[in-house]
Amino acid sequence: MGQDVTRGAFSREDRARYRHKVRRCLDVFALMLNDFRFDSDRPTTGLEIEVNLIDPDAQPAMRNAEILADLADPSFQTELGQFNLEINVAPRLIGGDGLEVYEREVLASLVHADERAHKSDARLVLIGILPTLRPEHLVLANMSNDPRYRLLNDQIINARGEDIALDIRGHERLEAQSDSIAGESACTSVQFHLQVAPEDFARYWNASQAIAGIQVAVGANSPFLFGKRLWAETRIALFEQATDTRPEELKAQGVRPRVWFGERWITSIFDLFEENVRYFPPLLPITEEEDPVAVLEAGGVPRLGELRLHNGTIYRWNRPVYDIMNGRPHLRVENRVLPAGPTVVDQVANAAFYFGLVRELCEQDRPIWTQMSFSAAEENFHVAAREGLDAQVWWPEVGDVAVATLVLDELLPLAAAGLDRFGVDPATRDRLLGVIEGRCRTGQNGATWQTRVVQHFEEHEGLDRQKALQKMLQRYAEGLHENVPVHTWPV
């Protein structure tokens, strides 16, 4: 969805042409997987970080256009809501001090952007969901002024044929209605990209699915929406519901949702792209001039634009990516399960845990996905989103176990071994994984810190929920500059 789109309406001919073209792209992709050389000699990683903007009263600041104009930095882009920004961090190697450099570069970029935002009476916050959001903030008028977002909104609402209903049941219950996909803009995440060889892709994707629930439990940071305390990582439920193209009747028929965990382990990246084409009608049937067959036969690298655009409108929590850089194609796993924040060091620690754990699990003689059902991985994912560090998950050879215990006893040593395989400096490895260990030992991640502080303000200072959320968020926002791990924050 990163590309610009300008079409306002699509005809039946557009959709028929697109369906033919996307299937032609799929056929070419299959040929490439069999015969083409993909770039995988020195695997790299990239980051995308979504950021929120708040005003001095800790309310969402609808000012991304003026802040971006003042920044004039191409690594920063618009996101769905006018109170969102996204930073795309240049790819780099994981090994050596790569993760340390990531931390320094991202922190410097965000601090610089925060200084510029102050000129617009705003500041940056890294958080899964802004706790001070109210329903009147998440309306069509507050979506970014970019044709692709309005077009996507129109297509999703038209496909659904009715308003979007939110019904999230956690510690409290939220019921709401929306006539747009603006609710999606409340979901701000960090996305880890890991470049892999075609023959390795299925192992990395399967391993990423197997540990998705563990990642969410450890990194949860979205406990509040519209003043309600819901899930530890409410962003999961909100994103699944806010972009759902299915009316109730299609849900009852078992039609797949576009925000999708999936339903099976795979044997090739082709499985995922083939599912995309087989199960999901196009939202944006925009065709390009390229003939991928002719390009391939001429020895070129096909863009496969239709296949990539279609993939961008199907929101898997671990998404397959086909891309081209410097004239060479490559494949990536895009890990999309985690919220933004609380700090840059917390995010880089999450990255280290993910990269190390997924690498080590892929190298094991008996892979994790041969020892657990896919439905168990999905159940872990949603239990972890609801309960965070308090979750009980199922793990092979262990059974039902507290997620913090599992991480401390089993998974942190595996993550350390995986980072060693990448050649990460031992001091960097230990510092970053120490952040994950600290959360598990203290029982405090972003979600628990937020809920504890709000509870303190309500019970000990007599504040109502909105005032408590406002005061908590003002304290929380200081974390960007201090860059101290959230498990050490005082309540």
447, 233 Cβ separation under 8 angstroms: yes
- Contacts (Cβ under 8 Å, ≥6 apart) of 238: 129, 166, 168, 183, 184, 186, 187, 222, 225
Determine the longest span between alpha carbons in the chain, in angstroms: 72
Residue 1: what pLDDT?
A: 42
Strands, DSSP E only, in 374-427?
A: 392-395, 399-402
Tokens of 330: 């490559």
Q: What is the pLDDT of residues 143-202, one digit of tens each?
A: 998 888 888 899 899 888 899 999 999 999 999 999 999 999 999 999 999 999 999 999
- Above pLDDT 90, what percent of the chain? 90
DSSP state letter for 167: E
pTM of the model: 0.96
63, 82 Cβ separation under 8 angstroms: yes
DSSP state letter for 365: S
Tokens of 460: 């000990």
Question: Which candidate, 10, 446, 71, places its Cα nearest to that of 224?
Answer: 446
Q: How far is CA 237 from CA 15, 76, 170, 195, in A?
A: 30, 27, 10, 28
Separate counts of helices (H) and strands (E) for the chain? 18, 15
Residue 8: what pLDDT?
A: 55
pLDDT, mean of each 10-residue run, the chain (491 residues): 54 92 97 89 86 97 96 94 95 92 95 96 98 96 90 89 94 95 95 95 98 98 98 97 92 94 97 97 93 95 96 97 93 98 98 98 95 98 98 97 98 98 97 98 98 98 98 96 97 94
Tokens of 302: 């096909």
Tokens of 197: 């060889």
Question: Which candidate, 255, 250, 261, places its Cα nearest to that of 383?
Answer: 261
